[in-house]
Amino acid sequence: MPYKRNIDALAKRNPRLAQIVDNTRLTGRYVVAPSQRKDKLPSIVDVKFNKNFYNNIDPYRVAEQDIKSRKLNVPDVAVFLGFGLSYEAHEYIRQCPRARILIIERDPELLKTALSTHLCTDLINSPNVTFAGCEDIRMSYPVIFNFFNMTANMYFLKAINVIEQPVSFSANKEYYLNSLQMVKEAINQVLLLYGNDPYDSLLGIKFTLRNIPTIIDNPGIADLKDVFKGKPGIVVSSGPSLDKNVKLLEGLREKAVICAADGTVKILKHHNLPPAHLVTSLERVIQTSYLFEGLTEEDVKDSYLAACPVIVPETYANFPGEKIIVYRNFATFEWLDIKKGILDIGPSAGNMAFKILEYLGCDPIIMIGQDLAITDDLVTHAEGFHYGNAKRKNLPKVIEVEGNYQEKVKTRPAYKQFLLHYERDIATYKGTAINATEGGAKIHGTQLMTFKEAIDKYIKEDINTTETIKKHLKQVKYKEKDRQIKETLKKLYHAKDYCNKTIDICNESLSKCAIVEEILRRTNVAPEGEDYTTYKANMKILEDTVQKFATKDFYLILMHYVQSIYIKILQDINSIKYKQDDSPERDVLLLLKYRELYSVLSSLIKKLIEEIDISIEIMEKFKEDFASRNSGK
């Protein structure tokens, strides 16, 4: 039977969707009947609206003509609104074998009927095909986001082909329009994730390089992986609702793992509560360091700053307690190759706290103070917050989202970004996520209850949290530190050499741009004969040169820094190809983009070399001091 094989395959790719489809009852709304083709390939009719998805003569021919009629200059990425009997998707992939497609289907009964009709495991098992839908489209957001966040898809976010299945779209127009809105939102979040300012990314790399001695000197979060498997964890954030239940943290320090955002440290002190076991921090601004000013060792006793090394060195310096290194999923940390533990961390310290507790094995994870919203009278934080919680007279760009206890609550664009990332994280979390914030924005995928209800249900026995953390953290030994210092210096010298070679490639490409520009200018964008041959050959070189950046060194050393510009320009290049046919006029637009790409890359890399030189100087001094301190070993 095709259905069992199809649904088993779908369960491996998208378990949630497979469960929805499998639990759906077939009502007879969709009738499948053999066509007049020799192979009797079936067609399908929506009885409710009396609509045939294809025709009874040759249903596949209908899908084939539909795909052929579309302009597919850049076919790499497509969104299908409606699955039908899979013919459109199959034909698209037949014409464009390397394409990556997202299939959104509204009706689980239709999808179940299709999976019962014929074998679709080639689509379902393909890593290039993603299925979503069959529920409130908001719940499919994590799947949609992950599709567009794939590295191969990022370069085509301005060249997406939308393929509507006519009958499905007509019957579920509002759902599919909302799906396109969700696609747009996911794309915007992907673009935000990769930034729009390379100099902001340079700050993260700059501080990471300057924090290398701190990285080498301290243990990593990897030491605590799954140490608290099945034990409760609590995320403490600094939203205004924290005032309602913060006192309930008293007495829980040895019964749960408490992981708090950096902004809550002084709030807990304000309420005379002990510090959290782990304090998260990842903002690369000096203001974050002020959150710890004035704290004493006693204030953070048995508390660890679990920070990502993109923070300013002053943040490490101002925290008077011990440190744990937590890497974010950035290429820079993969390049550094000093094993500490890499997590897929979202944009906020609260997002980071959730991922750390998940990494530690905590279940359930209970969130408090995670408002992701502001009060009606514009209060943004709980009492005791370092920068105050006074009512703001006005806040720019206040928007509304669904609330936990109100239909709508006020929030800010940055908070919404944190919210969307929570929903992504919770969609893949295998435990129970509880929102005990008692106010604020709704986080889809969480269970809603009061903090007291969560404590009574899930936090019952001592787990010796403090001693367990101490027992598992490993201090780095002398020989390993010595090796890491030497290896890091080698990497820094290699990175500088690679950066200089990449600048040479960019300069050579800019010379090719000048040749093409001169030919197009001299011939009034109508080159012929030898001019045409020369200009086309150089345009091909400019296009092929981009492939020289598809190397491990480029990814590890440069990508995180230049990605906002690099990805954006390649998106623009693919957008130009998507919208226009091959012509000298189109090449003028492409030429401008290639020139921008190579000139900006060259300029950016020169600034990175300056930071690498400073880091080399710091590391040479660190090496010398380390050798001096350990001369007798």
pLDDT tens per residue, range 88-105: 999 999 999 999 999 999
Given this model, what pLDDT does residue 338 score? 96
Q: What is the 3-state composition of the chain as percent helix, strand, coil, each rounded to the nearest 5?
A: 55, 10, 35
How far apart, in Å, are the Cα atoms of 351 and each of 284, 356, 426, 456?
16, 9, 10, 25
- Residue labelled with tokens 């929805």: 20
Integer Cα distance of 494 and 498 in angstroms: 6
In this prediction, residue 492 has a pLDDT band, given cuts at 50, 70 and 90, of very high
Q: Is the pLDDT of residue 152 over 70?
A: yes
Mean pLDDT of 437-444: 94
Q: What is the pLDDT of residue 633?
A: 56
- Mean pLDDT of the 505-514 span: 96
More confident residue, 629 or 537: 537
Question: d(Cα 100, Cα 80) in Å, to the nearest integer?
Answer: 11
Q: 609 pLDDT band (50/70/90 cuts)?
A: very high
Strand blocks (E) in 332-395 = 342-343, 365-368
Say what the pLDDT of residue 394 is: 65
Angle at the Cα of 430 from the Cα atoms of 418 and 82, rounded to 5 degrees: 75
Q: What is the pLDDT at residue 632?
A: 59
Residue 366: helix, strand or coil by DSSP? strand
What 3-state DSSP class applies to 81?
A: strand
By the 10 Å C-beta count (0-12 exposed, 13-18 middle, 19+ buried), 250 is classed as: exposed
What average pLDDT score do residues 527-535 get?
A: 93
pLDDT value at position 14?
93
Question: Binning pLDDT at 50, 70 and 90, where does residue 389 land?
Answer: low
Would the pLDDT of 621 be above 90?
yes
Of residues 441 and 397, more confidence is placed in: 441
The residue-averaged pLDDT of 303-319 equals 97
Q: Which has the closest alpha carbon to 507: 612, 597, 396, 407?
A: 597
Question: Is the pLDDT at 398 greater than 70, yes or no?
Answer: yes
The mean pLDDT of 375-382, rounded to a whole number, is 80
- Sign for the CA dihedral angle at 516, 518, 524, 528 comes to negative
Mean predicted confidence (pLDDT) in 117-127? 94
Residue whose tokens read 């300069």: 507
Please give the Cα distance from 136 to 151 (Å, whole number): 27
d(CA 163, CA 101): 10
Q: What are 399's two structure tokens?
A: 């928007």
Name which residue leads in pLDDT, 194 or 112: 112
Is the pLDDT reported for residue 390 higher than 70? no
Average pLDDT, stretch 151-169? 93
User: Alpha carbon of 82 to those of 41, 114, 166, 168: distances in Å?
Assistant: 19, 11, 8, 6
**Is the pLDDT assigned to residue 452 strictly greater than 70?**
yes
Q: What is the pLDDT of residue 393?
A: 61
Q: Percentage of the chain surpassing pLDDT 70?
A: 98
pLDDT at residue 312, rounded to an integer: 96
Kindly state the DSSP code that residue 40 receives in the 8-state scheme: -
Average pLDDT over residues 309-318: 96
Task: Return the pLDDT at 391.
Answer: 56
Residue 182 predicted with pLDDT over 70: yes
Q: In what order do the strands lie in the sheet with 30-34?
A: 30-34, 42-46, 51-52
| pLDDT at residue 625 greater than cutoff 70 | yes
Is the confidence at residue 489, as pLDDT, over 90? yes
For residues 573 and 593, is the Cβ–Cβ distance under 8 A? Answer: yes
Domain residue ranges of the chain, discontinuous segments joined by +:
2-193, 219-472, 478-629
Question: Residue ranges of the alpha helices (H) in 226-319?
Answer: 242-245, 265-270, 286-290, 313-318
pLDDT tens column, 197-243: 788 889 999 999 999 999 999 999 999 999 999 999 999 999 999 99
Q: 10 Å Cβ neighbour count for 208? A: 25
| Distance of alpha carbon 233 from alpha carbon 330, whole angstroms | 26
From the list 100, 101, 57, 59, the residue with the least C-alpha distance to 82 is 101
Which long-range contacts does 46-55 make (Cβ < 8 Å, 24+ apart)?
46/167, 46/171, 48/171, 49/167, 49/170, 49/171, 51/167, 51/170, 51/171, 52/167, 53/84, 53/85, 53/165, 53/166, 53/167, 53/168, 54/84, 54/85, 54/87
Sorted by sequence, the CB contacts under 8 Å of residue 446 that are 6+ apart come out as 367, 426, 433, 434, 435
pLDDT of 1: 74
Give the mean pLDDT of 456-467. 95
Please give the CATH topology (third level) of the domain spanning 2-193: Rossmann fold (3.40.50)
Scanning the structure block, which residue is given the tokens 């210096």? 489
Q: What is the DSSP letter of 446?
A: P
| Dihedral of alpha carbons 455, 461, 465, 466, sign | positive
Q: How many CA atoms lie within 13 A of 563 on its CB side?
A: 23
107, 84 Cβ separation under 8 angstroms? no
Determine contact, residues 215/338, Cβ cutoff 8 Å. yes
**Which residues are registered as beta bridge partners of 129?**
101
Q: Which amino acid is residue 177, in one-letter code? A: L
pLDDT attached to residue 133 = 94
**Closest C-alpha to 147, from 78, 60, 210:** 78
The whole-number pLDDT of residue 87 equals 94
Averaged pLDDT score across all residues of the chain: 93
What's the pLDDT at 383?
82
The pLDDT tens digits of the residues spanning 31-79 come to: 999 989 888 999 999 999 999 999 889 999 999 999 999 888 899 999 9
pLDDT of 392: 60
pLDDT at 277: 98
pLDDT tens for 242-285 read 999 999 999 999 999 999 999 999 999 999 999 999 999 999 99
State how far the Cα of 525 lies from the Cα of 532, in Å rounded to an integer: 10
**Which whole number is the average pLDDT over 308-318?**
96
